Amino acid sequence: MCRSTYSPYIILLCITLIQVPNFATSLSNAFQERDRVALQAFKLMITQDPEGVLNSWNDSRHFCDWEGITCSPRHRRVTVLDLQSKGLIGSLSPQIGNLSFLREIHLSNNTIQGKIPGEIGRLFRLEAVYLSHNSLVGEIPGNLSYCSRLIGLYLGYNKLEGSIPSEFVSLYNLKELAIHVNNLTGGIPHFLGNITSLEAISLAYNSLGGNIPSSLGQLKELSLLDSVETTSAVQSLPPFTIFPCLLIFLFLRINFMEVFLQV
Ligand SMILES: *[C@@H]1O[C@H](CO)[C@@H](O)[C@H](O)[C@H]1NC(C)=O
Ligand SMILES: *[C@@H]1O[C@H](CO)[C@@H](O)[C@H](O)[C@H]1NC(C)=O
Ligand SMILES: *[C@@H]1O[C@H](CO)[C@@H](O)[C@H](O)[C@H]1NC(C)=O
Ligand SMILES: *[C@@H]1O[C@H](CO)[C@@H](O)[C@H](O)[C@H]1NC(C)=O
């Protein structure tokens, strides 16, 4: 009697167990398809590809085997996009925000034009963004602050404008902020002193102006602060006593700076 009472549940359980893997598989396929569509959209926005690296981005192979793509072994989702120094000319598709497993973007030393799409803020697994040595314009999207796992942001040598977004105060894992050689304005914000994870900040060759805020003295991990040519800031440098662990590099020659800031 007991048996017959429970059997419907057992049957139901069996059906569920059979169906769950199928459901999971089709869900996984749907997410993979989303990655594939996003990568195709990325490719469409690249107008010149002198080395033909994106030729391998065709449907004869799974996108995990395309050049510059690394996937997670289990879910087969894109985790790394690495097309550094490929001579690419084009702009960034907002669809990059659909690559929801993305942890690293390596696109330094190309000719990426246009703005950094705000959709990048949807990539909550993002840890490193290498976009230096490109032709990016517009403002640094404050939306990057949603990428709370972000450790390194490298945007040097572009044409970025506006100020350092105040939303960045919530980037509590950020260790390296490299935004040198742009057209940034609006001063060195006080709140940088609240991002206690910061180890290196490079701001040189912008039009930031203003002073180096004394709040930066709170950054116990900071070992590189490069703000050469923010002349007034250098003049107003607070006494060294408030920077207990800080070594200030004042690079006088841009060649010398390059050694440190090539990333
Ligand atoms: C598609 O990609 C493969 C390598 O993945 C390459 O050998 C082939 O030439 C490509 N096809 C086209 C039409 O570019
Ligand atoms: C930049 O990319 C070009 C190829 O487009 C390459 O020849 C050059 O060595 C790269 N520079 C650096 C510093 O990586
Ligand atoms: C991908 O992203 C774009 C722009 O952010 C959005 O409009 C579109 O619906 C997304 N596509 C899919 C398949 O999720
Ligand atoms: C900014 O990021 C949020 C959260 O990730 C996202 O919902 C929103 O669409 C983004 N805004 C833009 C303009 O992309």
pLDDT tens digits along 164-194: 999 999 999 999 999 999 999 999 999 999 9
| CB-based burial label for 83 (10 Å; 0-12, 13-18, 19+) | buried
Is the predicted pLDDT of residue 14 greater than 60, yes or no?
A: no
Whole-number Å distance between alpha carbons of 212 and 232: 9
Give the closest residue (by CA) to ligand 2 atom 3.
85
Is the predicted pLDDT of residue 81 greater than 90, yes or no?
A: yes
Q: How far, in Å, from the CA of 32 to the mean position of ligand 4?
A: 21
Best of 39, 56, 66 to mutate for ligand 1, by most ligand atoms within 8 A of CB?
56
Across-strand partners of 113? 91, 135
Q: How far is CA 231 from the centre of its chain?
A: 29
Task: Read off the pLDDT of each residue in 246-251 and give the average, rounded to a whole number.
Answer: 42
The pLDDT of residue 224? 80
Q: Which tokens belong to 100?
A: 């929801």
Q: How far, in Å, from the CA of 109 to the mean position of ligand 2?
A: 6
Closest-approaching ligand to the CA atom of 147: 4
**CA-based end-to-end distance of the chain:** 72
Closest-approaching ligand to the CA atom of 42: 3
Closest ligand 4 atom, residue 146 Cα = 5
- Decide: 55 in ligand 1 pocket, CB within 6 A: yes
- The residues near 146 (Cβ < 8 Å, ≥ 6 apart) are 121, 122, 124
Closest-approaching ligand to the CA atom of 130: 2
Nearest CA-CA partner of 177 in 195, 157, 200, 161:
200
- 143-161 pLDDT tens trace: 999 999 999 999 999 999 9
Give the closest residue (by CA) to ligand 2 atom 10.
85
- The residues near 90 (Cβ < 8 Å, ≥ 6 apart) are 45, 46, 47, 48, 111, 112, 113
Q: How far, in Å, from the CA of 204 to the mean position of ligand 3?
A: 36
Is the predicted pLDDT of residue 83 greater than 90, yes or no?
A: yes
Task: Read off the pLDDT of each residue in 32-49 and give the average, rounded to a whole number.
Answer: 97
Who lines ligand 4 at CB under 6 A?
118-119, 121-122, 143, 146
Q: Phi and psi for 89 in degrees, rounded to 5? A: -120, 135
Q: How far is CA 23 from the centre of its chain?
A: 32
Closest-approaching ligand to the CA atom of 94: 3
Q: Give Rg (Cα) of the chain.
A: 23
Is the predicted pLDDT of residue 253 greater than 90, yes or no?
A: no
Query: What's the chain's average pLDDT?
Result: 83
Closest ligand 1 atom, residue 55 Cα = 14
- DSSP, collapsed to helix, strand or coil, labels residue 138 as coil
Q: How far, in Å, from the CA of 94 to the mean position of ligand 1?
A: 25
Order of all β-strands in the sheet with 128-130: 69-71, 78-82, 104-106, 128-130, 152-154, 176-178, 200-202, 224-226
Whole-number Å distance between alpha carbons of 108 and 181: 14
Give the closest residue (by CA) to ligand 1 atom 2.
56
Give the closest residue (by CA) to ligand 2 atom 9.
85
Nearest CA-CA partner of 116 in 135, 88, 100, 89:
135
Give the closest residue (by CA) to ligand 1 atom 3.
56
Q: Which tokens belong to 27?
A: 């869900």
Closest-approaching ligand to the CA atom of 116: 4
Q: What is the pTM of this model?
A: 0.83
